Amino acid sequence: MKRFLLFLTTVPLLLAACEKSDSTDSGKDRNATKVSEINVSDSFEWKTTRTVACHFTAPHASKLFVSTEKGGEPFATFIVGGDADPVALSVPSATRSLYVSYETADGGVSAQETVPVSGDTATHTLSAVVKSKDYTGIDDGDKNSTEGNIIYMPARKNGWGTLLFEDLWPAYGDYDFNDMVLNYKVQLYMNNKNKVDAMLIGLRVKAVGGSLPYDVYLSLQGVKGGEIDAITPYYSENAADNAALVALNSANNEKDPAVLKFENIRTNANKPAGATYINTEEGYEMADEELVYVSYLVEFRNSIAFENVGFDTFDFYLGRTRESDGRRVEIHLGGFEPSPEATADYLALKQSSTYVDKAVRPYYSNDNLVWALNIPVDIRHAYERVDFLAAYPQFKEWAQSDGTQAQDWYEHGVPSKLVTKK
């Protein structure tokens, strides 16, 4: 097994839940203060991040450090110049500049330089004033060559992102987005060609606010099933003894995207007595150290091109089989296709739904609403039956502007509407 430096720190996850059943939603509440009544364009993709192509050049292969904050710790360390592959970074949509430094010839680090982000591109040439260390021709097997070549997702070192789900697809739910709340972090370990040898995946169950028995899956759209060499548990807290990350593809599957299942992470023995759900009800809040947190090292059989493990290729979703009719139900972020296992049932359920029967793009409604959100920071989720607009008032402005306004809406929640840490 290859050796990797692992920097995933212990941080608790919260899962949010609300009461749900298989019944069809009774219809829209024509209340303009509710998520179900906001008006968004047909083209809006609900993305809180953007991918920035790094057009960085250097006189020779050099190690670069990139931060989204001036003076902040780098979230990306990779090689620029020589024959290294180009890198595109996923950053919060509100990011206007990247802050770049590089390893110097004497082993130090240069002063940060500000690199404006123009559209979806950042362009920079390393300064010739301070000479960078030359990595040209250094063998990737050299213990000093790839050490520290890591990209963190989301774009904050050791920071968590947040996935929020409504679980009544293909009906509208109550739009408190707390039926399942997951924190995630991904670390990519790269060689000197900027190809990915392994990744560390951390998941924290922040809240479960729904009673429907969904499991958590991750489909790696740019990685084939047969390209995964090994999955090794790295850390576990409050998880069941049989919690695991399982590759569902056969080992020889070189065709379909790799699908991973997080098994037995939904339940939490620390759930307070009297609580209906996990960490969504007033008076039953949970401390960070009581939450389920798991992480796993995924090693690849051969190095993976960086573009195939960019964050836009990570499809976190919920899945279950309905007891009532045996149909497979999945809930993905907008734009991701159902798995082959669920495609036929997806089409049947879509045709029977008032809300998605005419929708063209997968997991968008007729009104272009969604059932899942991905936020590039750790945010607090809403209490039970609190509409998301009441919890995050700027959410409406962001959505109705096609994401051009209030891009940091998730930083401006109403404290009384959001679950407080115990």
**pLDDT tens profile 378-399:** 999 999 999 999 999 999 999 9
Nearest by Cα to 311 from 421, 156, 84, 79: 156
What number is the average pLDDT over the span 328-336?
97
Measured in whole angstroms, how far is the alpha carbon of residue 137 from the centre of its chain?
35
DSSP 3-state helix, strand, coil percentages of the chain (rounded to 5)? 10, 35, 55
Strands (E), 105-243: 113-118, 121-125, 150-153, 161-165, 180-190, 196-209, 215-224, 228-237
Q: State pLDDT tens for residues 128-177.
A: 767 899 998 776 554 445 678 999 999 998 899 999 999 999 999 899 99
- E-assigned strands of 249-371? 257-263, 292-304, 314-321, 328-332
**Burial call 43-82: b when 16+ CB within 10 Å, e when fewer:** ebebbbbbebebebebeebbbbbbbbeeeeebbbbbbbbb
In this prediction the pTM is 0.90
Q: What is the rounded average pLDDT of the residues 270-288?
A: 96
Per-residue model confidence (pLDDT) at position 127: 75
Min mean pLDDT across 21-30, 199-208, 328-337 is at 21-30
pLDDT at 12 over 70: no
Say how far apart CA 167 and CA 417 lie, in whole Å: 20
Q: Any idea which of 109-113, 246-250, 302-306 has the lowest mean pLDDT?
A: 246-250
CA distance 22 to 24: 7
Interatomic CA distance for residues 140 and 302, integer angstroms: 13
For 332, the token pair is 């993905």
The DSSP 8-state label assigned to residue 332 in this structure reads E
CA gap 67, 73 in Å, rounded: 6
Contact 198, 7 (CB under 8 A): no
Q: What is the pLDDT of residues 305-316, one digit of tens each?
A: 999 998 889 999
Flag whether pLDDT at 183 surpasses 90.
yes
Average pLDDT over residues 9-28: 37
List the one residue out of 50, 233, 257 whose CA is nearest residue 154: 50
The yes-or-no verdict on residue 253 having pLDDT over 60 is yes
Residue-level pLDDT at 255 = 78
Note the pLDDT of residue 129.
65
pLDDT at 251: 67
Q: What is the pLDDT of residue 16?
A: 33
- Mean model confidence pLDDT for the chain: 89
Averaged pLDDT, 282-304 = 95
Q: What percent of the chain has pLDDT over 90?
A: 80
Q: What is the pLDDT of residues 26-85, one digit of tens each?
A: 333 334 578 999 999 999 999 999 999 999 999 899 999 999 999 999 999 999 998 899
Q: Among residues 285, 322, 18, which one has the least CA distance to residue 174? A: 18
Residue 422's pLDDT is 78
pLDDT at residue number 19: 36
The DSSP 8-state label assigned to residue 117 in this structure reads: E
What mean pLDDT do residues 280-307 have? Answer: 95
Residue 24: per-residue pLDDT: 37
- Residue 154, preceding peptide bond in cis (omega within 30° of 0): yes
pLDDT above 80: residue 8: no
- The residue among 274 and 15 whose pLDDT is bigger is 274
- The confidence score (pLDDT) of residue 252 equals 66
* Distance in angstroms (rounded) separating the CA atoms of residues 193 and 303: 10
Is 21 a residue whose pLDDT tops 50? Answer: no
